[in-house]
Homo-oligomer: A and B are copies of this chain.
Amino acid sequence: MSAGVTYARGFEAAAVAAGLKPSGRPDVALLVGAPGTVGAGLFTTNDVAAAPVTLSRAHLAAGGGRGVLVNSGQANAATGARGDRDAAAAVAAVAAGLDLDPTELLQCSTGVIGEPLHMDRLLGALPPLVAGLVDDGGADFAEAIMTTDTVSKQATADAGRFRVGGAGKGVGMIAPSLATMLAFVTTDAPIERRDLQGMARAHLSPHLESISVDGCTSTNDSVLLFASGAAGGPRLRPETDAWRRLAAAIEQVGASLASQLIHDGEGATHVMLVDLTGAADDRAARALAATVADSPLVKTALFGGDPNPGRILQALGTAGEGLDPETIDVWVGPTQLVHGGTIPPAYFEADALRGAAVAAMASPEVSIRIAVGDGPGTSRVLGCDLSYEYVRINGEYTT
């Protein structure tokens, strides 16, 4: 059965090995929707955005979004005017093969920053790529977008008679500078183009923006949502029951991809779920939770299996949110380790309090719950530990 991005009807995908990656593994992928397919996109906030990000933003603004060309191997970032020309030429070649206007296609790249696209190899691989499009190409698509991912990531969900599917790759910047989180989600529900961006922002973004391996936003991060309408019927209108059911399915696919991405984070041996409540608003909650999830001291403590409530407090205090320490409670697993900003002295006496928290730290998914007051702001951020393997991947591989 077709999976991933081709689970929803009205989509075809394909992949080839063009030789952009030294490994010789598949490295170019294509996803195209049936006529009438509309697209939406969320992109990196990095000031140094890659050429394909600039191209995709422009093509979406011009009304495009029928499909996307993806390559791994080179990120086509920090490549100057040459990078823009290369991105445009690759998309133009695919568009010609599909008899589309180039602006109908988007583009994503992931790989080495600064290295120019190997255009001769890429252009030579595009005709067989276009010729290979099939309605069960989702698995090939998911594999070709991998860099140092150890497994491919796909997810599917249903919303009544509508289907939702997705694929994602990477998390963390990967040696030697292989970067980027990419996620692609498709649905066969009929949605107006102008409504799709709202759906992506409200229901896809929160999950895929809640994960952090090392706090490093890449130059190429992109999340794309496509709707083919191939399931038929009238266009869904926002905030109807059918819309909400579809939104729930899209959230389910987004949450699954986010979880798969963080579990495959560079060198990760444990994942932490940082749930923060009581902040002034959701933005403050997210900033606080992310500061904990990104703290190298919390991350090394997670690696070492040490609950270390002092490091969690230390991290919270540096978020710049003006916390009153006396409002802070922290739980590791089921055990409360901070009461109103104070760590119980019993914690340091090797008793049951510490033992229960240490046991919770042994779980593959460690829950860290934090309350900082009685405000309405909440957030969940998924993080992972900082291990020897992270240092090895990012430090030793210097080619």
Contacts and interface: CB of A to CB of B under 8 A. Distances in A.
A317 interface: yes
A353 to B, nearest CB: 12
Contacts of A322: 47
A341 B394 contact: no
A49 B317 CA distance: 8
A348 B113 CA distance: 10
Interface stretch (A145-153, A187-195, A211-219): A211-219
Nearest to A340: B80
A281 interface: no
A179 B310 CA distance: 10
A4 interface: no
A313 B306 CA distance: 34
- Kindly state the interface size class of chain A when it binds its partner: 35 or more
B78 A311 contact: no
Interface string A317-329: 1110111110010
Nearest to A79: B342
Interface string A100-141: 000000000000111110000000000000000000000000
B114 A310 contact: yes
A394 B48 contact: no
Contact of A318 (B216, B314, B386): B216
Interface stretch (A33-41, A89-97, A293-301): A293-301
A115 B348 contact: yes
A391 B391 contact: yes
A391 B388 contact: yes
A80 B341 contact: yes
B387 A311 contact: no
A113 B325 CA distance: 14
Q: How many copies altogether? A: 2
Given A176-B306, A179-B314, A338-B78, A112 B395 contact: no
A310 B391 contact: no
A300 B391 contact: yes
Nearest to A305: B398
Interface string A26-56: 0000000000000000000111110000000
A398 B385 CA distance: 14
A311 B113 contact: yes
Given A316-B48, A323-B48, A397-B304, A216 B345 contact: no
A77 interface: yes
A347 interface: yes
Contacts of A308: 176-177
Given A177-B314, A303-B395, A304-B396, 17 more contacts: A46-B318, A47-B322, A48-B313, A78-B325, A79-B343, A80-B340, A83-B342, A112-B348, A114-B343, A116-B345, A175-B306, A176-B306, A216-B296, A216-B315, A219-B317, A300-B391, A300-B394
The list of the 8 closest CB pairs from A to B, nearest first, reads A113-B310, A114-B343, A48-B317, A80-B342, A300-B394, A304-B395, A306-B398, A46-B317
10 contacts: A47-B324, A48-B323, A77-B313, A82-B345, A112-B310, A114-B310, A177-B308, A219-B310, A219-B317, A301-B398
